[in-house]
Amino acid sequence: MTALNTPLPQPHRSPAREEFVAGLVAILPAMIAAAPIGLLYGALAAQKGLSPLEVFLTSTLVFAGSSQFVALELWTEPADWIGLGFAALLVNSRHLLLGASLSTKLGLFPRWVIPFAAFPMADENWAMAERRAATAPLTPAYYAGLSALFYCGWVLWTTLGSLVGAVVRDPATYGFDFVFTAMFIALLAGFWKGSRTGVVLAASGLVATLAKLTLPGAWYVLAGALAGIAAAALMFDPATDGEAA
């Protein structure tokens, strides 16, 4: 990142613990905002005949909201493991981009930790980690705080939803659906680096909107992201951006 690399004063009292707590605090709003969606997923899964244990295992082992919803739409009795596995691969393919980007910010992570750090990487904790890395070195403890709370929250809400059923009819009530949009807009502000960022955002936003209106499922995220990245690649100028790291 070319953002200001202001070296933050190193905290001298158990820095790992403080970093972990800072991660927990940063992700708390997202964890709470996931409640209506998680409860809804659990309730829908129960309607499809999944037991609370099966919902718990899905959220624990898969931990990917959009692909879990897609799987419910494709659900058959008995479950078609090949089709569902392939659908998960396609729906979650955007993770490739998230991981590739985050991997350039893991200087403080021991190499053996990285395969474990990849497991709970979702849009929300990934975005928070990227935002952190733009202003301070990303520590394993901070990432662990982000990921642990968001992961436990998703497992908790979805399992609870399967147990109590349809308490949440529509996350749009009280604007819960907009919390993630607002959070991502707030995070976006931190990635602004001038007019070229504007071009990236315009390409991504335009293509994502068009894809959402024309393609099924969650393809719009990958389509928009690739358009934004392509715009950045086209704007690359070897003379001035030669060592933009």
Partner 1 sequence: MTDAFSLDGATLAAIVAMSVMTYLTRVGGFVIVRFLRLGARARYALAAVPPAVLMAVIAPTVFAKGPAEALAAGITALAATRLPMLGTILVGTAAVVGLRLAIG
Q: Name which of residues 128 to 157 contact partner 1 (CB under 8 A).
A: 130-131, 134
DSSP string across 6-74: -PPPPP-S-HHHHHHHHHHHHHHHHHHHHHHHHHHHHHHHHHTT--HHHHHHHHHHT--HHHHHHHHHT
Residues of this chain, 191-210, that bind partner 1 according to CB under 8 A: 191-192, 197, 200-201, 203-209
Residues of this chain, 13-42, that bind partner 1 according to CB under 8 A: 26, 29, 33
**Interface with partner 1, residue 166, by CB under 8 A:** no
Answer yes or no: are the C-beta atoms of 46 and 52 closer than 8 Å. Answer: yes
Residues of this chain, 88-127, that bind partner 1 according to CB under 8 A: 88-89, 92-104, 114-115, 118-119, 121, 123, 127
Among candidates 43, 108, 49, which has minimal Cα distance to 76?
Answer: 49
Q: Is 115 exposed, middle or buried (0-12, 13-18, 19+ CB in 10 A)?
A: exposed
Residues of this chain, 44-83, that bind partner 1 according to CB under 8 A: 50-54, 57-58, 61-64, 67-68, 71, 78-82
**Interface with partner 1, residue 222, by CB under 8 A:** yes
User: Closest CB to partner 1 among 13 and 237?
Assistant: 237
Q: How far is the CB of 54 from partner 1 (least distance, A)?
A: 5
**Interface with partner 1, residue 4, by CB under 8 A:** no
User: Closest CB to partner 1 among 16 and 226?
Assistant: 226
**Interface with partner 1, residue 229, by CB under 8 A:** yes
Give the interface size with partner 1 as a residue count (CB under 8 A). 105
What is the Cα–Cα distance from 61 to 22, expressed in whole angstroms? 26
- CA angle, 116 then 119 then 123, to 5°: 130
What is the Cα–Cα distance from 167 to 36, expressed in whole angstroms? 9
User: Closest CB to partner 1 among 16 and 191?
Assistant: 191
